[in-house]
Amino acid sequence: MSERKFKGFGEKALPFLKALDFHQNREWFQENKSLFESQLKEPLGDLVEDLTERFAEAGLPFRGDRVKSQFRIYRDARFSKDKSPYNRHLSALLSADGSKRVESGCFYVCIGLPGVRDCYAGVAWWQQRPELLLAMRKAIVEKPEEFRAMVKALKRNGLELRDTDRLKRLPRGFEHVEEPDLAEAVKNKHFFVRMEIDPDSITSPELADRLFDFAVRAKPLIDWGKKIEKTVPA
């Protein structure tokens, strides 16, 4: 095991995002770009590299690149009413193939302003291709014992599935599902768990330990999805 690189985000990381939220102009950002890179971008790169190594050692299917895994601080505001040029957060995504494709299970970490984007991490099956989402819904109904075992394992680990972006009605072909827990699960578009990050803790190297522990505790969700994924043609 090599020496860990992540030493924590800079003490000025959140103050920088707060100032960026106020200024939101290119001139200010260019004047303070070195602060952004030293306090946020480089530490996030170190965190991605450290977690990639730890995940590989633990057999978790998440890997990333210190540069490519990070989402840009620059916003694409072409189709948004909010024309602010910069995000108020910085985030990164680790996936099975090391890209930003999220459909095959992913690990996501976001460092943001409390009340705006917040600081949190997530492990998820997110925006799956239709064939995989359909297979997951069928698995919930046809093999409920496996789905419920996964949910129980998450609960034992202090986690629970989130209901963000859940359908209001049962999707077509699943109108017959009556058991409440299965019906609610079938309505999910995504399957994910989340860990809140105390903003005051991001300057500590121990943040990497907590994120790794969270990913390990979320493994039942990834294992459940991986088993189903193998049944779906590529």
Q: How many domains does the chain have?
A: 1
pLDDT at residue 165 above 60?
yes
Helix (H) or strand (E) holding 109: strand 106-112
CA distances from 56 to 52, 61, 129 (A): 6, 7, 25
DSSP-based three-state secondary structure for 132:
helix
Flag whether 134 is in a domain: yes
Note whether residue 4 is domain-resident: no
Q: How many residues does the chain have?
A: 234
What mean pLDDT comes out for the span 206-226? Answer: 98
* Cβ atoms of 2 and 197 closer than 8 Å: no
Q: Is residue 168 part of a domain?
A: yes
List Cα–Cα distances, 140 to 170, 187, 208, 210, 231, in angstroms.
Answer: 13, 11, 33, 30, 14
Mean pLDDT of 38-55: 98
Check: pTM over 0.75? Answer yes or no.
Answer: yes
pLDDT in tens, 108-132: 999 998 877 789 999 999 988 999 9
Task: Please give the structure tokens belonging to residue 63.
Answer: 């890997």
Range from 77-81, 91-95, 204-208, 209-213 carrying the lowest mean pLDDT: 77-81
Average pLDDT over residues 82-109: 90
Using DSSP's 3-state secondary structure scheme, residue 188 falls into coil
Question: Is 6 within a domain?
Answer: no
For 127-141, the pLDDT digits (tens) are 889 999 999 999 999
Distance CA 128, CA 48 (A): 23
In a domain, 172, yes or no: yes
Spatial separation of the C-alpha atoms in residues 112 and 86, rounded to whole Å: 12
Please check whether residue 8 lies inside any domain of the structure: no
> pLDDT over 70 for what percent of the chain?
99
**Residue 101: pLDDT over 80:** no
Low-confidence winner among 115-119, 164-168, 230-234 (lowest mean pLDDT): 115-119
Distance CA(126)–CA(105), nearest Å, equals: 7
Residue 62, phi-psi category: left (phi > 0), alpha (psi -120 to 50), beta (remainder): beta
Which tens digit of pLDDT belongs to each residue from 5-18? 999 999 999 999 99
Rg (CA), the chain: 19
> In a 3-state reduction of DSSP, which class is residue 31?
helix
Q: Average of pLDDT values for 12-25?
A: 95
In a domain, 36, yes or no: yes
Q: Which residues of 191-211 are buried (b: 16+ CB within 10 A; e: fewer)?
A: bbbbbebebeebbeeebbeeb
Q: What 3-state DSSP class applies to 126? A: coil
Quote the tokens at residue 78. 């072409």
Q: List the domain range (segments joined by +) for residue 55.
A: 13-229
Is residue 102 over pLDDT 80?
no
234 belongs to a structural domain: no
Question: What pLDDT is attached to residue 1?
Answer: 54
Q: pLDDT band for position 157 (50/70/90)?
A: very high
Amino acid at 145: E
